[in-house]
Amino acid sequence: MTTYYIGVDPGAGGAVAILNDVGGLVQVFDMPSLQMTVAGKAKRRVSPEMLAAELRLVAPQVNVACVEQVSAMPGQGVSSMFTFGQAYGMVLGVLAGLYIPARTVPPAKWKRDLKLNTGKDAARAEAARRWPAQAGEFRRVKDDGRAEAALLAVWAMSKSP
């Protein structure tokens, strides 16, 4: 039976990637989110229901999911950091609800282990190199979340027994 590894770049602009047990990219998708009105402004928020629906079928066969560990960054507002932390918690909650074992890793750690520099373009280039048949999934600048999710799954696979 095939087992899977999941990588998650959390947040409404993030993504999720699923690798098979030989490192093949099975699926990569933008974080499921909904448009909603918050304080009179249109905002995107992670949809835990949609995320659970996307992962439900593979959940029994997932070895581990790796979620990038987020923290406050200089220059970000309190409201945006709260929203980002909320999305992070929702992702971990969905994984727990689906009985998917999860671990978190700081971006500096997984990028160092995979010998990547901290730039988003490096992740996109590495993802396109690893999965040339799916390089189109990483071609746009805003596809950095997809690339990072896929590489987080690679990192998770490399750390699994």
DSSP line for 54-67: HHTTTGGGEEEEEE
Give the residue, 12 or 5, on which the prediction is more confident.
5
Confidence tier at 72 by pLDDT (50, 70, 90)? low
pLDDT > 70? residue 48: yes
pTM: 0.93
The separation between CA 70 and the C-alpha centre of its own chain, rounded to angstroms, equals: 11
Tokens representing 102 are 């999860």
Q: What is the CATH number of the domain that holds 40?
A: 3.30.420.10
pLDDT > 80? residue 73: no
| pLDDT score of 9 | 96
Domain total in the chain: 1
Sheet strands (E) in the chain: 4-9, 15-20, 25-30, 33-38, 41-46, 62-68, 102-105
Report d(CA 25, CA 46) in Å as an integer. Answer: 23
In the Cβ-directed half-sphere of 86, how many Cα atoms lie within 13 Å? 13
Taking residues 7-18, what's their average pLDDT? 93
Domain extent, residue 114, equals: 4-159
| pLDDT score of 81 | 78
| pLDDT score of 77 | 72
Report d(CA 135, CA 119) in Å as an integer. Answer: 18
